[in-house]
Structure 1
Amino acid sequence: MVKFAANLSTLFTERDFLDRFQAAADAGFKGVEIQFPYDHPAETIRERLDATGLSLVLFNLPPGDWEDGDRGLGALPGREKELDAGLDRALAYAQTLECAKLHVMAGLAPPNLDKAAYLSAFGANLRRLAPKAEAAGCTLLLEPINSRDMPGYVLSRTEQALSLIQAIGRDNIRLQLDLYHRQVMQGDLIRTIARAAPFLGHVQIAGAPDRSEPDRGEIAYGPVLAALDEAGYDGWIGCEYFPAGRTEEGLGWMTDYV
């Protein structure tokens, strides 16, 4: 059975953040994910999870100064202390929220620079972070993000992430495969799932090319979700899309899978 998790940073945004947990539960979701939970005390979020019976399955490490243009710190040379402090903060939230998967955003590289040095820094940082995360029972996830939506992002292709994961060789560093980002950058979703299956830690979906409901656009999610099942993936599938209208009005697509 497919397990969908509502991304509360993109769904149910007609409501205040803390009210989205109940809305997700009322819509039939059993799990949720959050991009950045840090505007609210972990204990407050814990109360909402307990009240609704929802599981929090994923959130991101602090990304740096988002308003100033930061999009993660994982691959940025010279910002290791901020990254380490961000991991500590994320692990404290993870303990309270019983969330075992944390996405480490790579960050942006300056235009026209070779990203090899940034990927190397990312690998070194992950090697340093992974033991502390493992001791806390957490898996670190790497997500390639397409260069149309986030120009300059260090990690934009699935193969880059898989190369890092294989080179580091730790069980608690896994791939976060957002099928929308993969479709925009490279396509070939079903074969990608088969290749990436041994390293999958989390999957996300959205319609392409406009990142709205999964039943809109060019991705046939029936065969794609079947490929995930065939590959043995039994984890959560995060619904990280931007509804075309009110969230509830666009949830009919789920009836084919639950």
Structure 2
Amino acid sequence: MSDSASPLSPVGDRHFDGLAEKFAASLYGGARGELRLALLDRLLPEMLDLREQPLLDVGAGLGQLAGWFARRGHAVTLTEPSAEMLARARQHLEGQDLRFLQAPLQDLPELAPGPWPLVACHAVLEWLADPRSALAMLAGLLAPGGQLSLMVFNRDALRLSNVVKGNLEKALADRLEGKGLRKRLTPISPLTHGQVEAWSAENGLVIHEVAGIRVFSDYLRRPPESEADRERLLALERRYCRVDPHWRLGRYLLYTLERPIHPPEEATP
């Protein structure tokens, strides 16, 4: 595929038209995808105050997360810029009552302004050219007291993964980002915890919870072969995903961010 056929949008974001099959196989088709979903199934009720609030799912991909919330009584608006991914989400969620909207994150302040009591944005910011501005837009969609469930691809984990694989020169040079060309699925903007902390503070968001998703599994020399070993790995991930320092090396970092009802400058003494 030539650069002119790159799946980058006009503003430099990575979309997935023409790549939905590879996306599904790489991110959800194997044991790592199953582990990610199993951990989210456990962590989301622990990390969020869920009361069947309306939910905006930003960059919803194949719709797994939207379906999870819909099955638990939330009125879900699913947004996705890729027509191909949106079609797969519709198929995956057939029979469930959701609203579907084809739109990039940058259009949501106009098309789905809310304010929303609950927003989910999982594994999206790392595919954007300007994740800092994107987080500011997400913050603007939240109602006072609203929660943002944010999951990002961890740059520090990507560095460690490259070292484990023997890519020492690449790690030393800090050449970790993907280019968004051809069919490779290395994110173009992997993020650090420090960036999420700083950008959240810039936008008046408070980090209430944080966890690592897959803090051990991506560093194994070989994947577990037996069902018993897969269960042991899941038990380890569940035990340590919120324990420092282990959560910091999760392949993904999962946050609960909240827009305070009263911003600090308005709080009464």
Whose radius of gyration is greater, 1 or 2?
2
With normalisation by structure 2, the TM-score equals: 0.34
